Amino acid sequence: MQIDIFLFITFSIFALIASIMVISSSNAVHSVLFLILVFCNIAGLLLLFGAEFLSFMLLIVYVGAIAVLFLFVVMMLNIKKTSVNQGFFSIVPIGLTVFFILFTQLSKVFNIFNIFNLKQNNFIWISWIVENQNITNIQVIGNVLYTKYCFLFILSGLILLVAMIGAIVLTMHQRTDVRKQKIEIQLNRTFGGSLKFIELRK
C-alpha cells in the first residue's frame, strides 16, 4: 500500500470518529476538542489532495481562531453536564431528514461529474507526496496576490488596522472619578512633609 493511500484512509477514519464524538459527547468542552481534531484531520486530507492553501487556511482560521474562541466561551460559561430526557426515537426523524437531503445533494454531484463511470473518465492517480518539484498552490496564490492584487491587499490591511484602532478607542473609557497613582508627584515630595510627630497624652 502506498503511503498517501494509507494516510488518506487514516485521516478519513479519524475524521469520521471525531465527528461522531462531537455530536455524541455530553460535555461541551470535549465536543469542542473533538471538533478541533476533525479540523486537523480535514486539513490533512486537503494537504493530500494538493490543496495546500486551503489546508493551512483551515488550520489558521478555524483551529487557531474559531475553535479556540468556542473553547474559551464554553469554559468561561462553565456549562455543566445536564441529563437529556429525549429518547433516541424522537431524534431519528430529524436525522433521517438531514441524511436524505445531504445524500440527495451528494448523488446529484456524483451524477454531474460522472464519478462512478470510471470507464469514460480516464482518471490518473497522482501522488502529491512525490510531486515536490512542481509549483504549489501557495506559490501561485502568493505570486498573484502580491503582484496583480497588491494594492487591494494593502488596502484591506489598512482597513483592518483602522477597524482595530477604532475598536480599541471605543472601548477605552477615561474616568475622572478614579484615583490614580501619580509617580511625578511622589518623586517630587520632600522629606519634611513625609513624617509627622504627635505628642500622645499620658
Grid cell locating 79: 456549562
Q: Which amino acid is at 117?
A: N
Hunting for cell 506559490 — which residue is that?
139
Pair 28, 74: CB distance under 8 Å: yes
Grid cell locating 139: 506559490
Any idea where the domains of the chain sit in the sequence?
A: 3-134, 135-171
Mean pLDDT of the 166-192 span: 75
pLDDT at 119: 55
Fold type of domain 3-134:
Four Helix Bundle (Hemerythrin (Met), subunit A) (1.20.120)
Chain segment 88-119, per-residue pLDDT in tens? 677 788 888 988 998 888 888 777 666 556 55
Chain segment 145-174, per-residue pLDDT in tens? 888 888 998 999 999 899 989 888 887 766
Grid cell locating 61: 482560521
Q: pTM of the entire structure?
A: 0.58
- Helices 3-24 and 28-49, axial angle in degrees (round to 10): 160
CB atoms under 10 Å from CB of 70, counted, come to 17
Mean pLDDT of the 81-86 span: 59
> pLDDT grade, residue 34 (50/70/90)?
very high
